[in-house]
Structure 1
Amino acid sequence: MKHPYLTEEHSIFRLALRKFLQKEAYPYYEEWENNRMVPRSFWEKMGNQGFLCPDIEEEYGGSGVDWGFSVIINEELERVGSGLIGIGLHNDIVVPYISEYGTDEQKKKWLPLCARGKMITAIAMTEPGTGSDLAAIKTTALSEGDHYIVNGQKTFITNGIHGDLVIVAVKTDPHSKPPHKGVSLLAIERNTPGFSRGRKLDKIGLHCQDTAELIFEDCKVPKENLIGEEGSGFHYLMNKLQQERLIVAIAAQTASEEMFSLTMEYVKSRQAFGRSVSQFQNTQFKLAEMATDIEMGRAFLDGLIAEHMHGKDVVTKVSMAKYKLTEMARHIATECMQLHGGYGYMEEYPIARRYRDIPVASIYAGTNEIMKVIIAKNLGL
């Protein structure tokens, strides 16, 4: 299916990216999974080829292209494996905070390194005791001269081990009423005194994605590392969550398409009772149901991406897509594993990894329950 927001130039870019990934990612992905880490060298190769931060301005090392190129990058990385989600987070979730809210000095200092893969970014919102309720974070950043003194902990941080620059949600005014007005964003660099990594977290899936705890103990951060205005952090986070959730929806849709393709190939080749499994009516009905869900999901998603690229406020639709497409992917993962039979439970078959990787998409970037709250609220309920 041709995406309505893509041109011939996008198609050429996709072919170049696929060729790159066939050489630099697919042959090594299982090794990365076993090592529980994507090597920094891969990030640098991505940067050298122009596959990082393509939409930032040329003066900062990007290509200044439209967001359709980022959509392609996210889709093609997901086809390799869900563990590469950290690259999409870097390109389309973290770096935009700098490019939109950062000062000229911050952009000149950090963006060229981000585009080359020399600086890997992360965003730290979630805390051990605080998930969806961002206004309730406990990490503080108290003013002391020309620095902030940061104390607190963050957890479930994507790119947490590799991260060289972390955008951290902090309370610069812990006593603010309402609480969200006390939230600010600080960019904290690797090797800042008082900043350390906790555990590299052992997850059910996304094994090659380096998810970690971050610890701040009297961490001394220069005030010039403040992103935007003090007290505006919650507002910035809400503005950027539309694109973050859209990235998750794109990954879920792409994963569903990949799982369906894998399963179609398998049921046609697998023999049972003297004929291929694809010839049984139950198999055909299951595949027909999945194909229908996937086509409808793609149509809705493509329209949504086009609206987002035109700068429209599509928070309600993005919440719908994030909720519905991640639920669809979970359902398809289960059905596809079942159609693989016993082999679907074997790690040597890609569907087993997909089955492990998919469930967290319903949780991160705002749980699907929060998506329903947003939808209901925007319906006027």
Structure 2
Amino acid sequence: MGPPDAEQRLLLLYTGGTIGMTTRADGALVPQDFGRLAAHLRDPDELPVGVTIAAFDDPIDSSAIRPGRWLDIADAVVELAGDHTGVVVLHGTDTMAYSASALAFLLEGVDRPVVLTGSQRPLGERRSDADRNLYTAGAFAALRDGAGAPVVPEVTVAFGDVLLRGCRSRKVSADRFSGFASPDLPPLAHAGVSLEVTASLVRAPGTGGLRRTGGLCADVAALKLHPALDEHTLTAVLTRPGLRGVVIEAYGAGNGPSEPWFLRALEAATASGVVVVVTTQCDSGAVRAGQYATGAALFETGAVAGADLTFEAALTKLMALLDRHPADEVRRLLAVDLVGELSPLV
């Protein structure tokens, strides 16, 4: 596995987030002009590769992101990637796992690394993790094998000392520098004295050229089960005008209430064409239809088991599939591993 090569060139795309923020007079962090970060990156000693820097005109705090922004990011990657050997997307941490999952389902023919990263503290602050994350992401994006091929041609998240598959990543801490994890899939790589990649986990590069051919359906909702959930709340969610899909975060391996009002509401929703996918509230593990009696009743309503999909992956996969397919095909494809979002035989 060869080191990054100075003849390579990376695309660095700034979308917003803490890494490029500055402190306002009242102490709050707000997005700032990208020039400071760009100037920092133009130091030739900072990265062992050439860098093309691009930025959105309106960088945002990632907590303000909307589905349309995911399309904009995907389109920017496709438009600007060109002959760059890798892409680094600078993004806020709050919704980075959502964006990484969305990009994994939106981008087709991924034949080079597309690495998302950010930081818990802004660049330039004392003890900031921004430098470390930025240059680790760049190193992974530039990593080539002995034949010159990209080592990790996937959508990934680089944070702390790990490289995670984007559609398996989750933000697990609001303040630790090791803020992201992949509970049901080991990291694709670790960054220490050297970059250590577990090649057996990495997906093969895509073919046909980097592209986006589909969009996202935003007519979706999410509902987390809890003991105080009542019929009024459930009905309000499931009868929203135009609703096409719902992600339910259930207990354990896919369990939920067995009261008639709960099951009737779900059955009515699925009968009307709404796709209901069930994930687990647990940090790891999988939803298995029918493992417990309460779970069996839930899936008899027509809901689909989400296996070990993260909530972020379940939501964005549902949105991508609903944009392309009718409900029955969406239900089928939710159980199919499309971009590495599901573990085998779960």
The reply to whether TM is greater than 0.5 is: no
Bigger helix share? 1
TM interval, short-chain normalised = under 0.3
TM-score of the pair, normalised by structure 2:
0.27
TM-score of the pair, normalised by structure 1:
0.25
